[in-house]
Structure 1
Amino acid sequence: MAISRRSMLRGAAGAALAVGAAGALPAVAGAEGVARGGGHGHLRVRKDKISIQLYTLRSVLEVDLEGTLDALADIGYRNVELAGTYGRTASEFRKLLDRRHIRATSTHVGIDGDIDQAIADAKVLGNRRSNVPYANFGTIAEWSAFADRLEAAGKAYRRAGIGFGYHNHNHEFQAIDGTRPYDVLTRRTTRRNVSFEMDLFWVVAGNADPVREFYRIAGRVRQYHVKDRTPDGGFADLGEGVIDFPRIFRANWPLEVEEYIVENDEPVDAVKCAETGYNYLADVRF
């Protein structure tokens, strides 16, 4: 049943991508997270710390929401990160996940709308964390004002018992008038209220070193987006690109992140990408 379901979804994904590729939305889409494995002190990612950003599977989720969630459960996923609920209420989506023993550990959410409602939905969904997926401004003054808004939102989420963070792309590492927006965000927000969801693909694309950036704000990176990169800068399924994830994981494990989230902004085969990503993280040693 698992094989046939995945095969069906792969066919649906191909059709959906053919129809929707031209109008695809831009991507808005981390010592407890490791366990001893193998020998010689090698570490591995614990399976209960593996997640996937559902933006990766948007093409098939739009065609068959329940079948896609079934496929993820078959692969072994017990955690997902949301980027929308596909026309369902928070309560309805939570029931779909509960039936498959999957937890929405985090959600991508903006701060321009009703924060009280977003927090209420996060509680219904069972989120441990919520992350702002994207921001882009042309001046440091605008980035500073945004950082202040992140801090205020983070305070509201903390009071509700939910972690709050920011997910980077590459442009945050490009200096504006000598200052990197990422440094503005990290310095104008507090450890107490704002964490960071480090997208490893985009850090590399921004010509920054994920290990160095991790230790610049040691302890504040709580989740990784584990997304691989082709030699020419395109998206790749995990283990099929050039990013040295074992180096990153090994260097950073003393302050290990809570969750390793599989993502590919433009997968050729979304379900295969999800399976490849899960297996890579479950098998990788560092």
Structure 2
Amino acid sequence: MLRGAAGAALAVGAAGVLPGVASAERGGHGGHWGLRVPKDKISIQLYTLRSILENDLEGTLDALADIGYRKVELAGTYGRSAEEFRKLLDARRIKATSTHVGIDGDIDQAIADAKVLGNRRSNVAWANFGTIAEWETFADRLEAAGKAYRRAGIGFGYHNHDHEFQAIDGVRPYDVLTRRTSRRNVSLEMDLYWVVVAGADPVREFYKIAGRVKQYHVKDRAPDGGFADLGEGNIDFRRIFRATRPLEVEEYIVENDQPVDALKCAETGYNYLANLRF
């Protein structure tokens, strides 16, 4: 079933890459171009706001709630325990549906914290190795960690950067990770900015592992190749979202690694996703 859906949707996605094909921006107002990102699927990676969260945690969370965010992805708890951070979120009707974690520490404790925080998913944020053998070993560790998280009722995945798409001795580390882990234990959090920077097509990569991409990091690219607030860069999110709609992801997570104004970036990102039609 997945292969059938993936094949049909990939044809749609590939068509969007061909020269001369009308984009959603130039097209009609109904049908598939009238689709939108559900507001309850919009989240933000708090790493985007790290500089102001460190100085004013409660005020920043207040601002996010005022913007409209009801979901966030964590990258640390800023000196608070899991219990304390959960109370801050609950008071603002915000859910920490996912978090970035490592696998070098105490996995049992990480799982316990994830349960307290209410995380539905935990994702490894970063890995980099110089040989395919090292990537294979890491993939095996991901699979083992994913199994432990699954048994605890929490999804587990990996978040990419660009280097996973650069071949080592003719083999891409991303392919090692996806082939050497199982869809049962390891999902993918696809960072669209880094896929584009790597020179890959997010739609094609999505359907190569159809059904395993559960979350998007929606991060825009400036004309100079750097980071941009959503809608102010050159990544065609309309095409990506339209082409991958048949296997829609669970969350669209706003992110900017180096925002000029973090709160403005958060507001711009939320409004962009809430108002986008594709």
TM-score normalised to structure 2 length: 0.89
Taking the aligned partners of 2:121 and 2:252, their CA distance within structure 1 comes to: 13
Match of 2:7 in 1: none
State the 1:250 CA deviation.
0.2
Deviation at 1:226, TM superposition (A): 0.0
Say whether 1:237 aligns with 2:236.
Answer: no
Q: Select the residue among 150, 165, 180 that pairs with 2:172.
A: 180
Superposed CA RMSD in Å reads 0.6
Tell me what 1:40 maps to.
31
Q: Which residue of 1 aligns with 2:25?
A: none
2:163 is matched with which residue? Answer: 171
Mapped partners of 2:247, 2:54: distance in 1: 37
Separation of aligned partners in 2, 1:97 and 1:222: 23
Q: Deviations over 1:140-180 (max 9, x none)?
A: 00000000000000000000000000000000000000000
The size of the alignment, in residue pairs, is 249
Name the CA distance, whole Å, in 2 between partners of 1:206 and 1:146. 21
Cα distance in 1 for partners of 2:54, 2:262 equals 12
- The 1-side partners of 2:264 and 2:192 are apart by 21
Aligned counterparts of 1:185 and 1:39: Cα–Cα separation in 2: 39
2:207 matches 1:215: yes
Q: CA deviation at 1:40?
A: 2.9
Residue 111 (structure 1) aligned to one of 88, 103, 106: 103
Query: 1:53 maps to which residue?
Result: 45
SS at the partner of 2:36? strand
Separation in 1 of the partners of 2:137 and 2:199? Answer: 25
**Which string of whole-angstrom CA distances, capped at 9 and with x for unpartnered residues, describes residues 2-45 of structure 1?**
xxxxxxxxxxxxxxxxxxxxxxxxxxxxxxxxxxxx73342100
User: 1:108 aligns to what SS in structure 2?
Assistant: strand
Overall identity of the aligned pairs, in %? 86
The code of the aligned residue for 2:249 comes to V
Secondary structure of the residue aligned to 1:80 is strand
**Paired position in structure 2 for 1:273:** 265
Residues 101-159 of structure 1, C-alpha deviations (whole Å, 9 max, x = no match): 00000000000000000000000000000000000000000000000000000000000
- Structure 1 alignment gaps of length 5 or more: 1-37
Segments of 5+ residues of structure 2 without an aligned counterpart are 1-28
- Equivalent-residue separation in structure 2 for 1:147 and 1:75 (angstroms): 38
- Tell me the secondary structure at the aligned position of residue 240 of structure 2: helix
How far apart, CA to CA, are the structure 1 residues paired with 2:74 and 2:252?
Answer: 14
Provide the rounded CA distance (Å) in 1 between the counterparts of 2:232 and 2:275: 14
Letter in 2 for 1:256: E
The whole-number CA distance in structure 1 between the counterparts of 2:237 and 2:46 is: 21
**How far apart are the structure 1 equivalents of 2:31 and 2:149?**
41
2:139 partner amino acid: A
For the residue of structure 1 that corresponds to 2:99, the secondary structure is: strand
Counterpart of 2:11? none
1:89, 1:185 → 2: CA distance?
32
SS of the aligned residue for 2:253 comes to strand
